[in-house]
Structure 1
Amino acid sequence: MAEPAAGTAGGFGFDSLKASMARGDVLLALGIICIVCGLIFPLPTWLLDISLALSITFSVLILMTVLFIERPLDFTTFPTTLLIATMLRLSLNVATTRLILAGGHEGIDAAGHVIKAFGAFIMGDNFVIGLIVFGILIIINFVVITKGSGRIAEVAARFSLDAMPGKQMAIDSDMSAGLITEEEARKRRTDLEQESNFYGAMDGAAKFVRGDAIAGLIITFVNIIGGIVIGTLQHDLDIGEATHTYTYLTVGDGLVSQIPALLVSIAAGLLVSKGGVSGSADKALFKQFSQYPKGLALTSGTMSFMAVMPGLPFLPFATLAALTGFLSYYLQKELIRTNQQRLQLAASEASKVKPAEEPISKSLAMDIIRLELGYGLLALVNGEGHKLTDQVKGLRRQLAEEMGVVLPSVRIQDNLQLPASDYIV
């Protein structure tokens, strides 16, 4: 009996672990633990290469996800994702700093193949170019994208919080008027709360991106200065060789870390600036640009003018002029065709509308019977005891009771054109 119990216990542990990994609980926890371990323990070069490639892949995935979501609330985990990506990059920065300072005297292979490849691709043999490119990336990320997206997130969070009472009252009034159901009202309240929390979290998440850029800049200068000091004083390298080697490795490390940071910053900017835009970014941009073909036509004219200006290359501007002109012509034709189809559809829908049914009173309408009397017969109308009007009413009532036929009202009037004893019905 003990063996099944042990098997059950062992099976329970394995099954629960498998279920947790399927839900992502254990995987996320293991990922966070690995990031923290990267801050403490040294990493081999092969593992560092894999981690750097993973960081780049993760950043590209974040950017592509932001591009294709329909609305910002479809990616409410972005602030958490941003924090994880930032911690991953900082952990890798610490790991690469350890490898650069510890083994930089051995050559440019000390920090792995990814850093070496980035340094060779962007810098070549001139590390000054790498420093300039790295500085430009820092400025673009920190001054332009991060600052702008942070301001957008701050304003969006403030206005979202201020507008929440009014939106809640609008939801309550719509539900009271019967325009929406209770379930739909509950869903709208949940979306409203998520929107407020999301923009508030994005306001704080922008600080992570800004701090990441500052940390990358500080780490770069520490690596360069510390590497030169370690190389010259501890490993007897001359100042030129130490400067070239450690600057090469440091700038390569900075580029590998700043490119993912730049991608994530762009994703954050796109996400917070997407408020009020429905649909994915590519569809929304194409739809809105294609609505105004005149803008493309003016752009084509401007490019044509620049193509013939002296000193400017003809081929690039002429190609762009032809491309924008073709797009303007094509979109104008599509716009006309769409409007015609819309008018035809509206006309066909109008023709399909059933004419309004005539009221039943018109179907029951009866012709008026008029009795015209000569002046000699007028005494019958108001005769004592046998008024003509009373006799007509009695006749109508008798016909209705016996035959079920309701005669219309009879109008009695005089006609002086008739002979004295004649009448006309």
Structure 2
Amino acid sequence: MKTKDLSVLVVVILIVAMMIIPLPTILLDFLLICNISISLMILLVAMNTKEALEFSIFPTALLLTTLFRLALNVSTTRSILSKADGGRVIETFGSFVIGGSPVVGFVVFLILVVIQFIVITKGSERVAEVAARFTLDAMPGKQMSIDADMNAGLISEQEARMRRRKIEQEADFYGAMDGASKFVKGDAIAGIVILLINVIGGFIIGMVIHGMGFAESASTFTLLSVGDGLVSQVPALLISTATGITVTRAASEGNLGSDIIKQVFSYPKLLYIVAGTIMLLGLLTPIGLLLTIPVGLLLILGGLSIQRTAKQDELMSEELEKAEMEEDIRSPEKVVNLLQLDPLELEIGYGLIPLADQKQGGDILDRIVMIRRQFAIELGLIIPTIRIRDNLQLPANQYVLKFRGSKIASGEVYLDHFLAMIQGEDAETIEGIRVVEPAFGLPAVWVTAEEKQRAELMGYMIVDPPSVIATHLTEVLKQYAHELLHREETQELIDNLKETHPNLVNELVPALLSVGDIQKVLQSLLREQISIRDLAAIFETLADYAVYTKDSKVLTEYVRQSLTRQITEQYADQGVIHVLTAGASLEKGISDSIQQTETGAYYLSVDPQLSRRITEELQVQIERVMKSGGQPIFLTSPSIRMYLKQFVDKIMPTVPVLSYTELEPDIEIQSIGVVNI
């Protein structure tokens, strides 16, 4: 146990012992001075903290100081009643502070108790109670706000965790202060009771035991009791004031002194008005100018001083801004910071700002959260935080999605319109702004709210502006999903898998494959919209075949073959899959063009004329299937699948190419065409 921890335990034990063991008066004097010093220290700390959590130990300190004060009351009461002597500190307070008059001392004591009990303690208790209640009520909203800021890219995950922790600590603190304020209230009541016991008990003991006369006994014990009460109530008043200051510091920017000076004296012209009012008061009333003019002059001088200081601060801030701008230009560190790029940015025109403002009903932040969750579930990929920024250089209704600073998609939406998706042949039957739907390239019309119901009755599919942006973002991010997976993200996936499959990860990384090799395999899967969520199955396959080859393309084919159930479910429709089959001539033409390098890697070397013929035939088949309203899917042998995919990507990258070994045996395969050359 550390020395600091042990010392606190010893102090608590000694406080309890004080209530039982009689103490000499010299030690009581020392402890009473310590009590005043501790109370003053707590008050100064409370005044200099910027926020309540900086003094989070205050509720416990309040309990310990109250216990210490009550222990001193017990010890001083024992000394007064048994010896008719409370020590030099109590005697000083009884004779010097209250002028030796028991009546005056009793009145001063009652005033202090009233101030502490009714004014400060009662108010602090109420503020702590209300603060605790409102802090608890506001917790869900604050946490949602933190989540929104994190999803918008305004704060990092670590900062979000710190803010959530701070909210929890605030709730705990104000709840504890609500209870701890009862200690101060009870201490004030105990002070009154102890005073009455000392006066009445001391009067009786003085005459019965000490043999004093009536007047002498009343004077001695009343003076000592009132002095003891004042010695206790002064520290109690300081602690009560500290309690009130702590729980009322709701929106402070600095310590109490700086906040008061900054906020109360921020308007120097008002000081002139106050000075004029005070001088008129002396001129028009019997108070006289002799008293009011000095006060008025002080206020005027204070206003002039504040105005002069404000001008100097303004000039200094302007010079500082210029110096910082010059430093930004000259400093190489500042220039290096400009090289940092956000992975994903969504820039919006000023007309679309309400979409990102929750106060105006905007829910684009919530939709981005749903997009990130959808990617995690469907593809097993954690999409980086998408930062939302307004760009005044964009047209009012335009939005732009940037990937590492480069534009990858853009579109236009109209907040007071709805997008009507054209499903029939006739596109002229409804009025509106004719556009091309950004996600799928379909013809569409932006219609007003009045035309919305009519468009629905005519068979149009109606989509609101936030849904248009969310759908567009989803499709674009799917297209670029493989580029969002870097080595850092790959390492995070590996670390996450290691928590549940440590032996599997240790066997594969780095003994058989590096993080970069695994990244290439996962990127290849994402490029063809194959989910990597089942990372354990992927690593099992890599561990089996990485012994024989390090070629990421070949390893990807092995992984695809191990994900047959997943791939079959992805492309089959009620147990049936309609495919374009690669004919024998096409397979032979591609197979004969596969070459092997000296390092053992395979690549495709196709004659230009043959390449043109293959591309033309594939394009004809894709267009034929799409015109009939179907989804083109190519099926071929596993040996040429990845090479055929290279040809298909030139025409339409979204068309999948599967091999026979990637489908479940019980799936029904229906051919809708054969591709030959």
Q: TM-score, normalised by structure 2?
A: 0.46
How far apart are residue 42 of structure 1 and its match?
A: 0.9
> 2:296 aligned to 302, 321, 344, which one?
321
Structure 2 counterpart of 1:168: 143
Q: Which amino acid aligns with 1:49?
A: D
Q: CA deviation at 1:335?
A: 3.6
The aligned amino acid for 1:271 is T
- Give the corresponding residue for 2:6: 26
> Gaps (5+ residues) in structure 1?
1-15, 105-109, 355-425
Of 17, 20, 24, the residue aligned with 1:44 is 24
Change (3 A) 1:313 1:193: same
Task: Report the equivalent of 2:100.
Answer: 125
Corresponding residue to 2:213 among 234, 238, 254: 238
Q: Which residue of 1 aligns with 2:350?
A: none
CA distance in 1, matches of 2:25, 2:322: 71
TM superposition shift of 1:340 = 6.4
1:190 to 161, 165, 168: 165
CA–CA distance in structure 2, aligned partners of residues 286 and 224 of structure 1: 45
Distance 1:115 1:350, change over 3 A: closer
Q: Structure 2 CA distance, aligned partners of 1:42 and 1:176? A: 64
**How far did 1:222 drift?**
0.7
Question: Deviation at 1:229?
Answer: 1.1
Query: Are 1:161 and 1:196, in contact at CA under 8 Å, matched by a contact in 2?
Result: yes
Partner residue in 2 for 1:71: 51
User: Is the alpha carbon distance of 1:69 and 1:350 closer, same or farther for their aligned partners in structure 2, counting shifts above 3 Å?
Assistant: closer
> Does the C-alpha gap of structure 1 residues 346 and 45 become closer, same or farther in structure 2, counting only changes over 3 Å?
closer
- Deviation sequence 1:353-373 (CA, Å, 0-9, x none): 99xxxxxxxxxxxxxxxxxxx
Q: 1:92 aligns with which of 72, 75, 98?
A: 72
Rounded Cα–Cα distance in structure 1 between residues aligned with 2:327 and 2:127? 49
Question: Which one is further off, 286-295 or 269-278?
Answer: 286-295
Residues 69 and 333 (structure 1), Cα distance of their counterparts in 2 relative to 1, 3 Å cut: same
Quote the offset at 1:289 in angstroms: 2.0
Aligned residue identity for 1:76? S
Equivalences for residues 12-411 of structure 1 within 5 A: 20-21=2-3, 24-104=4-84, 110-312=85-287, 314-336=289-311, 338=313
Residues matched between the structures, number: 329
The answer to whether the 8 Å contact 2:95/2:101 transfers is no
One-letter amino acid of the counterpart of residue 273, structure 1: T
1:323 deviation in Å? Answer: 0.9
Higher Rg of the two aligned structures: 1
Contact 1:291 1:335 in 2 (8 A): no
SS in 1 for 2:100: coil
- Offset, 1:337: 5.3
Question: Whose helix fraction is larger, Structure 1's or Structure 2's?
Answer: 1
Equivalent AA in structure 2 for residue 70 of structure 1 = K
Cα distance in 1 for partners of 2:324, 2:17 equals: 68
Report how far residue 311 of structure 1 moved. 3.4
Distance 2:328 2:244 in 1: 49
In structure 2, distance between residues paired with 1:201 and 1:169: 25
What SS does the aligned partner of 1:40 have? coil
Deviation at 1:196, TM superposition (A): 0.6
The answer to which of 118-127 and 336-345 deviates more is 336-345
Alpha-carbon distance between aligned partners in 2 of 1:348 and 1:231, rounded to the nearest angstrom: 77
Partners of 1:350 and 1:80 in 2: CA distance: 48
Shift of 1:103: 1.3
Query: How many angstroms does 1:158 deviate by?
Result: 0.6
1:204-238 alpha-carbon deviations (Å, 9 max, x no partner)? 11100000000001000010001111112333322
Tell me the CA shift for residue 127 of structure 1.
1.1
Alignment partner, residue 599 of structure 2 = none
- 1-structure distance, mates of 2:226, 2:310: 51
- 1:402-421 aligned within 5 A: none
Please, which moves more after superposition, 235-244 or 211-220? 235-244
Q: Which residue identity is paired with 1:29?
A: L
Amino acid at match of 2:47: L
Q: What percent of counterpart residues are identical? A: 45
Q: TM-score, normalised by structure 1?
A: 0.73
Q: Is the 8 A contact 1:100 1:227 kept in 2?
A: yes
What is the CA–CA distance in structure 2 between the aligned matches of 1:227 and 1:351, rounded to whole Å? 77
